[in-house]
Amino acid sequence: MIIIENLRKTYNHKSKIAVDGISFSVNNGEILGLVGLNGAGKTTTINASCGVILPSGGRILIDDMEIVEEKAKASQEIGWVSENPNFEPNTKAIHLMLYYAGFYKIPRKEAFNRSMDLLRTVGLEEDAYRPASAYSQGMKKRFALASAMISNPRNLLLDEILNGLDPSGINLIKKLILEWKKQGKAILLSTHLLGVLENLADRVIIMHHGKIIKTLTNDEMKSLGSTGIRIRADHVDKSLEMLLSKYGTVRIDGQNVIVNGDLNEKDMENISSDISSHGYRISHLDLEKKSLEEYFLTLIGEAL
C-alpha cells in the first residue's frame, strides 16, 4: 500500500513548485492512474514515492514504512520503472537482471531462472543476450518492467509505462498489470493519456500544476465517455421525437435520431424497449461516446 500525505516538492530554491501538497493512497490490489499534461507533476510524485528524490514537505509510506526514514526496508517492496529507462552500453539484458537480483541476495540459480521467466513474461526471452541499451524504446520499457519485478515487490510505481509501446505491447503490459493487481499489489501508473486507463485503472487522479484537480472511479470514467445515444428506426416522425424527448435533447440527423444527455447503457435499454413498445422497429442503437481525452481537456481548461 502506498500512502502519500500532503506531498510537496519545489525546485530551483523553492521558486518552482512541482507538486503542491497532494494526498492520496493506492490500496493493495488497486491500480491507480495518475494523469496530467506535461509538467503536471506526475514524475515528481512517482520519484518522491520511490525515494529517488527527497520531498520538500509531507510524507510517503510504503507498506507503513516511511520512504525517507526507512528507505532501505521500504525499497525492498518497490518496483519502479522510470520515465526514460536507459542501460549501460554493451551489457547484456540477462546480466543486468542478475546484477539487480544481487541487491536482493537472490541465489544465482534462482536469479537466473527468475530473470528468464520475467524476460519471457514481457516478451523478451529471445533478446535476453542482447544489450538492453540497444533495445527499441518499447523493449526498454518492457525490460525495465521485468527488472523492477526481480524482487517480486508488493508496490509498483510505473512512470509512463504504456507510452512508446505498440498496440500488442500495450495489451501485454495491461494484462500483466491486471494479473499483479489480482495478486494484491498496489500499482501506481502515470500517463498523459486518460483513454488508455479506461479498462485498466480502478481510479484515476488528474493532476494539473502540481495539484489534484479531480479523482474519478472507473465507473465514473466509463459514464463520462458516453453522452448520447444514436438510434436508427424504420421510420422517424414527430411522435418518435416526442417520445424520446423525455430522455434528453433530441436531434434528427437524416435517418438517425440522436438523443443527447448524460446517458448510459441502462438508458439505452430503456429507450430500446420504450420505442419498440410504441411500434417502431430499430435497426441500429448505439452509445455515442464523447472521448475521455475531450473531457480531460475540458476539465483542465476549467482549472485554468
Ligand X SMILES: Nc1ncnc2c1ncn2[C@@H]1O[C@H](COP(=O)(O)OP(=O)(O)OP(=O)(O)O)[C@@H](O)[C@H]1O
**Where does this chain bind Mg ion (CB under 5 A)?**
42-43, 83
R_g over Cα of the chain: 24
Is the Cβ of residue 15 or residue 90 nearer to ligand X in the bound state? 15
Residue entry with cell 438510434: 231
Q: What is the dihedral of CA 63, 68, 70, 75, to 10 degrees?
A: 60
Residue 71 burial (C-beta neighbours within 10 Å; 0-12, 13-18, 19+): middle
Q: Which CB atom, from 51 or from 248, has the smaller least distance to ligand X?
A: 51
Q: In degrees, to the nearest 5, what angle opens at C-alpha 67 toward C-alphas 65 and 71? A: 90
Out of 21, 29, 39, 195, point to the residue binding ligand X (CB under 6 A). 39
Point out which span in 37-45, 74-82, 231-239, 242-250 binds ligand X (CB under 6 A). 37-45
195 binds ligand X (CB under 6 A): no
Judged by beta carbon distances under 5 to 8 A according to partner kind, the member of ligand X, Mg ion, none in contact with residue 29 is: none
Q: Does 192 bind ligand X (CB under 6 A)?
A: yes
Q: State the nearest-atom distance from the C-beta of 191 to ligand X, in Å.
A: 8
Q: Is 82 in the site for ligand X (CB under 6 A)?
A: no
Is residue 16 near ligand X by the rule CB under 6 A?
A: yes
The answer to whether 104 touches 110, Cβ cutoff 8 Å, is no
Query: Is residue 42 within the footprint of ligand X (CB under 6 A)?
Result: yes
Spatial CA neighbour of 129 closest among 102, 98, 99, 95: 95
Enumerate binding residues for ligand X (CB under 6 A): 11-12, 16, 18, 36, 38-44, 83, 192
